Structure 1
Amino acid sequence: MRKTILFMFLLFAAGITANAQKFALIDMEYILENIPAYEHANQQLEQSSKQWQSEVEKIAEEAKTMYKNYQSQIASLSDVQRGKKEEEIVAKEKAAADLRRKYFGPEGELYKMREDLIGPIQDEIYEAVKEIATQSGYAVVVDRASASSIIFASPSIDVSNEVLAKLGFSN
């Protein structure tokens, strides 16, 4: 009886190991660092971001200057003039906030530009990973760069170089 139970347990364990899933890792940061188009896209994003930021800061600085001038002139202004100056200052501050939202908001120009420039690169990487996973029978491919819970992984399961080769960038 014990031999039968032991035999069944061994068959069960062998069945589980036969159905073991294959895993692979990629390092998205490493892959992106080795794609020249990504670096170029990042430079374009940074350049546009700096330009837009300077526009926003210029308008915000104008509002600040208007407020300082208002503060220095407040004693000599009538109530009507004060109200008008306050409205101008508020309008300038609102313009700066609107411009900041237009450029850097959740649906802003920077977001759209990032989607246009980096989205296609990420799609290519995804397709290459998907193709490699399908061909090699990987059940799961984990991004080492974003998976903070991975403490150690064998370099033998890292397929980052295969992804780069699939994209035409050998390292």
Structure 2
Amino acid sequence: MKKLFCLLSVALGLLAAAPATLAQKFGYVDSEFIMGKMPAYAQAQQELNTLSGTWQKEIESQKKDLDKLYRTYQSEEVLLTEPMKKKRQDEILKKEQDVKAYQNKIFGYEGQLFKKRQELTKPVQDQVFEAVEKVAKKKQLGIIFDKSGDLTMLYTNPIHDYTEFVMEELGLASEDQNQPAQKGAVRTVTKPTTPGGDLEPDEAPAPRKPATRPGQRPAAGKK
């Protein structure tokens, strides 16, 4: 609800802005879909999954050692003196703390997995951002939203979707270069026409069947 109020506040702010601001064109892209089509992103995800699986196995192994240590103590407790009990309990407690610390180091906030994800995906994200910037300049867009980002978009009109133009900038707009996405069905991206019917100079309108992403219904009037 708070996020909705924030969106409404932004909308009201735009309405109160100068006419020049209102005249600015805007569009949106689906960065998650775009990156899902990029081979470098798929390779990064595969490497992250491999690392995550390796680290998880190490943690599971440490937990088994801890469980074994505890069971041994339980079976021998009646034979131990109080000082011996205290020593064994301290060993178990230390082992438990070590396991938790290692797990947090790997999978915790800003842990090794988080840092590795940033390291591997940042080059891909930079490519997408550069392509988005090029599209914004070519199409004279004042604002481009990310449909897959944190900003909640309650409704999106497909005529403002510039995802295909970004795909074209990244060299993913031809059938032989398309890569299967990580999620959802594979779609074939064709050379797009300007959203909203804006044609490039010396470009005649050509009807085509637009490519759609999973869960999106093509607009009846979009070409």
Q: What is residue 162 of structure 1 aligned with on the other side?
A: 165
Q: Is the 8 A contact 1:133 1:139 kept in 2?
A: yes
Residues 1:147 and 1:114: Cα distance change in structure 2 (over 3 Å): closer
Counterparts of residues 39-54 of structure 1 (less than 5 Å): 39-54=42-57
Aligned AA (1:58): S
Q: What is residue 37 of structure 1 aligned with on the other side?
A: 40
Pick the structure with greater CA Rg.
1
Q: What is residue 109 of structure 1 aligned with on the other side?
A: 112
Q: Is the 8 A contact 1:56 1:96 kept in 2?
A: yes
Q: Is the 8 A contact 1:29 1:145 kept in 2?
A: yes
Higher alpha-carbon deviation: 147-156 or 58-67: 147-156
User: Among residues 131, 134, 142, which one is paired with 2:134 in the alignment?
Assistant: 131
How far is the alpha carbon of 1:78 from its aligned partner? 0.8
Higher alpha-carbon deviation: 142-151 or 110-119: 142-151
How far is the alpha carbon of 1:126 from its aligned partner? 1.0
Residues 1:147 and 1:18: Cα distance change in structure 2 (over 3 Å): closer
Structure with a larger share of its residues in helix:
1
How far is the alpha carbon of 1:101 from its aligned partner? 2.0
Q: Distance in 2 between matches of 1:158 and 1:62?
A: 54
Q: What is residue 80 of structure 2 aligned with on the other side?
A: 77
Q: Distance in 2 between matches of 1:40 and 1:81?
A: 52
Q: Distance in 1 between matches of 2:151 and 2:67?
A: 43
Could you list the structure 1 runs, at least 4 aligned residues long, displaced by more than 6 angstroms after superposition: none
Higher alpha-carbon deviation: 140-149 or 46-55: 140-149
Q: Is the 8 A contact 1:25 1:157 kept in 2?
A: yes
Structure with more relative contact order (C-alpha pairs < 8 Å, separation 6 or more)? 1
**Number of matched pairs:** 157
Structure 2 unpaired stretches of 5+:
1-17, 174-188, 190-223
1:61 and 2:74 correspond: no
TM-score, normalised on structure 1?
Answer: 0.83
SS at match of 1:149: coil
Higher alpha-carbon deviation: 142-151 or 97-106: 142-151
User: Among residues 142, 146, 150, which one is paired with 1:143 in the alignment?
Assistant: 146
Residues 1:27 and 1:18: Cα distance change in structure 2 (over 3 Å): closer
1:25 and 2:28 correspond: yes
Q: Distance in 2 between matches of 1:56 and 1:78?
A: 32
Structure 1 unpaired stretches of 5+:
1-14
RMSD: 1.9
Q: Is the 8 A contact 1:59 1:95 kept in 2?
A: no
Aligned AA (2:163): S
TM-score, normalised on structure 2?
Answer: 0.65
Residues 1:59 and 1:18: Cα distance change in structure 2 (over 3 Å): closer
Q: Distance in 2 between matches of 1:96 and 1:18?
A: 55
Percent identity reads 32
In the TM superposition, what whole-angstrom CA distance separates every residue of 1:73-93 from its partner, at most 9, and x where no partner exists?
211111121111112111211
1:95 and 2:98 correspond: yes
Residues 1:18 and 1:115: Cα distance change in structure 2 (over 3 Å): closer
